[in-house]
Amino acid sequence: MGAWSAEVFGNDAAGDWAYDVPEQGMDAVLSTLQRPLPQAVETEHSGCEVLAAAAVLARLAGADEEVTDDVPEQLETWVEQQRAAGVTVQPEWAAQALAVLQAVLGEDSELAELWEEDEEWTDSVTRLVDFLTPLAAA
């Protein structure tokens, strides 16, 4: 994995995934979050993609830079367009994102194994979990 930081979009897999979202739309975000577990997080590549999808969902729901601090500019523009069009995060989307995030942090996650000693990475995932939890319960 080409990683340059512990931030969600600080790697090639998430960056490549983010590049395609504006063209593919919300379906790209939701289909990524709906990948079957634990396969969705078994490889570092797929783990990075599901983290990115969860971050996009959080941003769409109004998360600020403290929760999702590295969203690429073209993706941020797309999120703003979705908000302007009235797209809102549904509780079931947030619940799916939470399930994926818990799996990313779990023992079957290659990504968690790679970052296990990096507190910054764990904190970034935990911030997403903390933000999305009340949305799933709405």
Gap between the Cα atoms of 127 and 67, Å rounded? 6
Confidence at residue 61, expressed as pLDDT on a 0 to 100 scale? 97
Residue 50 CB coordination number (10 Å): 27
Name the nearest CA neighbour of 74 among 125, 13, 9.
Answer: 9
Residue 123 CB coordination number (10 Å): 11
φ/ψ bin of 88: left (φ > 0), alpha (ψ from -120 to 50), beta (otherwise): beta
Measured in degrees and rounded to the nearest 5, phi and psi for residue 14 equal -70, -40
27-65: pLDDT as tens digits? 999 999 999 988 888 899 999 999 999 999 999 999 998
Gap between the Cα atoms of 2 and 45, Å rounded? 10
96-110: pLDDT as tens digits? 999 999 999 998 899
Average pLDDT, the chain: 92
The pTM of this model reads: 0.94
